[in-house]
C-alpha cells in the first residue's frame, strides 16, 4: 500500500513538472514570437534602403540588403564606374576599397542581382543562371526588364548614388 501511495505521489509530481515545463515553453515561445513581431513592425517595408543606378541616362532603383557590406559600400557613394563585360551574363568592377563580406553559396543568380565577389569586386548580373560561386548579396534592381534592355556586350558606365 505504501508503495502504491508513493508511486501515485511520484506520478503526480512528475505530471505537474511536465505540465509546468510545457507552460514555460509556451510562455517562452510567445515572448520570442512577440519580440520578433515587434521587430518586424518596427522595421517596416518603408525602411528598405535603396540606391539608384544610372545607365545610358536611365535611372534604375535598387533595393538593398540589410547587411554590413551595404552599410560600408554606401559610404563611397556617389561614384561613377566603368563595369567590364564577363561571361555574357555580368558586368564587374574592382573597387579600390575592401568591404566586409558575408559570402554565401547563392546557387542561382537572378538577372538584376547586385553582389560582391571577394571583398572588392562589384558585380551586376543581367542574366539568370545557376552558379557554384559564393557572393555577398548587396541588392536587386527593381525594374529588371528595363535594366536588361540597357545592357550590351560593351563596357558599361554606371553612376551609383543614394
**pTM for the whole structure:** 0.71
* 24 & 66 share domain: no
Residue 156 has pLDDT above 80, yes or no: yes
For residue 112, the tally of other CB atoms under 10 A from its CB is 23
Q: Read off the pLDDT of residues 23-54 as tens digits, 9 standing for 90 and up.
A: 333 333 333 333 333 333 333 445 689 999 99
Domain of residue 29: give its range. Answer: 1-43
- Per-residue HEC secondary structure of 112-142 comes to CEEEEECCCEEEEECCCEECCCEEEEEEEEC
Q: Read off the pLDDT of residues 3-15 as tens digits, 9 standing for 90 and up.
A: 544 444 444 444 4
DSSP class per residue in the chain: -HHHHHHHHHHHHHHHHHHHHHHHHHHHHHHHHHHHHHHHHHT-GGG--EEEEEETTEEEEEEEP-SHHHHHHHTT-SEEEEEEEETTTEEEEE-SS------EE-SEEPTTEEEEETTTEEEEE-S-EE---EEEEEEEES-HHHHHHT--SS-EEEEEE-
| Grid coordinates belonging to 8 | 501515485
Residue 109 has pLDDT above 80, yes or no: yes
User: Among 27-41, 54-68, 70-84, 131-145, which is the least confidently predicted range?
Assistant: 27-41
Identify the pLDDT of residue 21: 38
* 98 & 28 share domain: no
The whole-number average pLDDT for the span 83-93 is: 97
* 6 & 68 share domain: no
* 63 & 108 share domain: yes
Residue scoring higher pLDDT (14 or 121): 121
* 77 & 100 share domain: yes
Identify the pLDDT of residue 29: 32
Selection from 65, 70, 69, 124 nearest residue 93 by Cα: 124
* 80 & 153 share domain: yes
Give whole-number Cα distances, 134 to 35, 71, 85, 90, in Å: 32, 20, 19, 15
* 74 & 129 share domain: yes
Split into its structural domains, the chain has a count of 2
Amino acid at each position: 500500500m505504501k508503495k502504491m501511495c508513493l508511486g501515485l505521489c511520484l506520478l503526480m509530481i512528475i505530471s505537474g513538472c511536465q505540465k509546468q515545463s510545457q507552460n514555460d515553453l509556451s510562455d517562452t515561445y510567445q515572448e520570442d514570437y512577440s519580440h520578433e513581431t515587434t521587430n518586424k513592425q518596427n522595421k517596416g517595408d518603408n525602411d528598405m534602403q535603396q540606391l539608384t543606378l544610372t545607365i545610358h541616362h536611365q535611372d534604375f532603383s535598387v533595393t538593398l540588403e540589410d547587411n554590413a557590406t551595404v552599410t560600408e559600400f554606401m559610404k563611397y557613394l556617389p561614384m561613377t564606374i566603368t563595369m567590364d563585360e564577363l561571361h555574357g551574363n555580368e558586368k564587374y568592377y574592382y573597387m579600390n576599397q575592401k568591404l566586409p563580406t558575408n559570402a554565401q553559396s547563392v546557387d542561382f543568380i537572378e538577372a538584376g542581382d547586385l553582389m560582391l565577389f571577394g571583398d572588392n569586386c562589384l558585380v551586376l548580373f543581367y542574366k539568370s543562371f545557376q552558379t557554384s560561386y559564393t557572393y555577398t548579396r548587396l541588392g536587386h534592381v527593381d525594374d529588371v526588364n528595363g535594366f536588361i534592355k540597357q545592357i550590351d556586350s560593351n563596357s558599361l558606365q554606371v553612376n551609383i548614388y543614394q
